[in-house]
Amino acid sequence: MSKFWSNELNKLKPYVPGEQSNQIIIKLNTNENPYSTTHNVKKVLKNFSIDNLKLYPDPDSKKLKIAIAKKFNINYYEIFLGNGSDEVLALAFLTFFRNNIPIIIPDITYSFYTVYCKLYNIKYKLVPLNNNWEVDLTAMNQKNGGIVFANPNAPTGNAHKKSSIIKLLSDQKEHVILIDEAYVDFGSESTISLIHKYPNLLIIKTLSKSYSLAGIRIGFAIGSKQLIDGLKIIKNSFNSYTINSISSAVALSAIKDEKYFNKNCIAIIYTREKIQFALENRKFELLYSKSNFIFVKPINISAVKLFIKLRKLGILVRYFSNKKLKKFLRISIGTELNMNKFIKNIDYLIIN
C-alpha cells in the first residue's frame, strides 16, 4: 500500500507465475517444453549483426508475420504479434472487452483472464465447468460482451470438440470470441481455418510451448483484419516496439523449421500418452490431456502432500491451493528420461 498508488491498484491481485528454482532437478511446474528449440537458432544468434541493435526494430515485424502467415495459410495482416501471448491477451482484453457487458469466462481456466478484467475494470461472469471437468460451451452460449476460453483448457488439459465451438460461433456474432490455443499443437485441432467465416473470432498462440521458446517472449493473435487493426491501435498507444530484433530473428528461424517442430511435438505427445497410462495404472484419476501437461488426482495421498514429497526429491510440479483445484496436481510433460524417473519416484513415494 502507498498513497501514490491508484485505488484500483490496492484491490489488484496479480497473476502468480510458477516457481523458478535452481534447487530443482526435474522441473515440471510451468509447462515449458523439455526439449531445446531448433539448432538453427544457434546460427541466428552467432551471425546476428550487433550493429543492427542500435536501431529500433521494425514496429510491424513484417518478415516474421509473413512467415507465420505462410505456415497457417492466412494473410500477414491477419496476425498481431506481442511480447509473449500474455501481452497479446492483455492488449486484446483492453481492445475488445471494455463494453460494460460482462464477458463470459470458465470458472476454471488460465487464471490470468480474470486478472486482466480487474486491471481494466472489465465486468465478467464465470461459468462452471461441466461434470466431466470440461469447459461448458453450451452454458457459455448466452448474452455476453465477449467470450474467452482456452482450447485445450488449462490447467485441466482437455480439448473441446470443433462442432461445439462452431455452434458457439454461429450463435454469438456480436462480440469477440477469444480462443487461447497456447497448447493446441500437442494433439488437438486449431480453429484458425474459421477466421474468414467468423470475423469476431480471435485466436491466441505462443511460441513458448510447442516451439520451446518461452525465453524469447513471442506470442500472436490471428483473426480478421478488423480485429487485428483494433489490436494495432491499442498496441501503438501502449508501446510502438514490442518485438525486439533478436527475438524476432530467432522466432523466424524456428517457424521455418517445421520438421523439427513436428518432431518435438510428437515426442511430447508420445511421452504424455505413456505417462497417463502409467499413472492410471497407479490409480491416479486423470482428465484426458491434449496438452504438454497432465492434470491428475492422486488417490491414496493428498495432492499437497505428494507435491511436498516430490519437491523434497527435487521434482517440482504445480499445486494450486484454490478450493476447486486442491485435489489435483498439474504436471508438465518432461523429457522421456525425466518422466521415467518421475514414475520411479512416484512408485518409491507411494510405497513409502
Restricting to residues 142-181, name those near a second copy by CB under 8 A. 174-176
Question: Among residues 33 and 156, whose Cβ is nearest to a second copy?
Answer: 33
**How is residue 235 written as a grid cell?**
498496441
Mark 243-262 with x for binding to a second copy (rule: CB under 8 A) and - for no binding.
Answer: xxxxx--x------------
Which DSSP symbol is given to 92?
H
Residues 30-49 binding a second copy (CB under 8 A) are 30, 32-37, 39, 41-42, 45-46, 48
Indicate which single residue of 128, 138, 229, 262 sits in contact with a second copy (rule: CB under 8 A). Answer: 229
Backbone region of residue 277 per phi and psi (left: phi > 0; alpha: psi in -120 to 50; beta: other values): alpha
Residue 4 found at the interface with a second copy (CB under 8 A): yes
- b or e along 256-282 (b: 16 or more beta carbons within 10 Å of the residue's beta carbon)? ebeebbeebbebbbebbeebbebbeee
Residue found by looking up cell 448466452 in the block = 142
Residues 74-93 binding a second copy (CB under 8 A) are 83-84, 86-87, 90
Give the H/E segment covering residue 230.
helix 225-236
Indicate which single residue of 170, 236, 262, 322 sits in contact with a second copy (rule: CB under 8 A). Answer: 236
The C-alpha atoms of residue 311 and residue 350 are separated, in whole angstroms, by: 15
Mark 185-214 with x for binding to a second copy (rule: CB under 8 A) and - for no binding.
Answer: --------------xx-------x---xxx
The least distance separating a second copy from the CB of residue 55, rounded to whole angstroms, comes to: 5
Residue 237 found at the interface with a second copy (CB under 8 A): yes
The least distance separating a second copy from the CB of residue 57, rounded to whole angstroms, comes to: 6
Residues 288-317 binding a second copy (CB under 8 A) are none
- b or e along 313-336 (b: 16 or more beta carbons within 10 Å of the residue's beta carbon)? eebbbbbbeeeebeebbbbbbbee
Residues 90-129 binding a second copy (CB under 8 A) are 90, 94-99, 115-116, 118-119
**How is residue 39 written as a grid cell?**
539448432
The C-alpha atoms of residue 109 and residue 270 are separated, in whole angstroms, by: 25
Cβ partners under 8 Å of residue 195, min gap 6:
74, 78, 201, 203, 222, 223, 224
Among 7-15, 102-110, 185-193, 291-299, which window interacts with a second copy (CB under 8 A)? 7-15
Residue 57 found at the interface with a second copy (CB under 8 A): yes
